[in-house]
A and B are shown apart, each in its own frame.
Chain A
């Protein structure tokens, strides 16, 4: 399966702390994207990192990509209760918008 895997499956932190979640995948990729999903709703795109990039920032988000290890990490700094959601990584190939999603990390930020 080309599906990625996020680690940990669940994470609970206090508001203000940083949250780090990891994604591992199996095949070569063109890009990797991170998404957030609030309970039972559609996904919200957070950040896209291409295979020739190593790190990318967007606001309180920092994403790294290590293609040699086939892994990526998402860091959310100074977490807020509103960050409570499931986070997914999705890997894209060269053949269009065919993305394989990981199993997700459920993040709970306690106020």
Chain B
């Protein structure tokens, strides 16, 4: 099976712009989670989508949003970018079989730099 793919791998934006990141999960996986990783805050949970519905949400402002399509692919959008949004954004897919958490398979990440 192909692994989790994320596009683009690298992105440079300026403050105030918006950005959309894409994640294609492993075939057959229905859950996609997004994480932000920064040196200062570590890995922080953004949200999880399961069967096109947001199932869980972390403590991020409304500028961070996402969606999931019927083929389980997911997009994450950040509007009005701030310098502090510079981070590695990781997507993880899992089967979504259990309500109590599955093994997650991570993509390589998108490195976002905000200037």
Contacts and interface: CB of A to CB of B under 8 A. Distances in A.
Interface of A: 3, 30-31, 33, 35, 40-45, 48, 50, 88, 90, 92-104
Contact of A40 (B35, B88, B94): B88
B5 to A, nearest CB: 11
A30 B99 CA distance: 9
Given A43-B90, A44-B106, A99 B42 contact: no
12 contacts: A31-B101, A33-B104, A41-B108, A42-B90, A45-B104, A96-B96, A96-B99, A97-B96, A99-B33, A99-B101, A101-B35, A101-B45
B92 interface: yes
Interface magnitude class on chain B: 20 to 34
A88 B42 CA distance: 10
B56 interface: yes
Nearest to B3: A42
Nearest to A31: B101
B44 to A, nearest CB: 8
A31 to B, nearest CB: 5
Contact of A101 (B31, B42, B56, B99): B42
8 smallest beta-carbon distances between A and B, as pairs: A92-B101, A30-B100, A101-B43, A98-B56, A42-B106, A43-B106, A42-B108, A96-B55
A37 to B, nearest CB: 9
B100 A93 contact: yes
A42 B100 contact: no
A97 B43 contact: no
B90 A97 contact: no
Nearest to B102: A97
A95 B56 contact: yes
Most A CB atoms within 10 A — which of B4, B92, B96, B100?
B100
B58 interface: yes
Contact of B48 (A3, A41, A90, A98): A98
A95 B107 contact: no
B87 to A, nearest CB: 11
B42 A97 contact: no
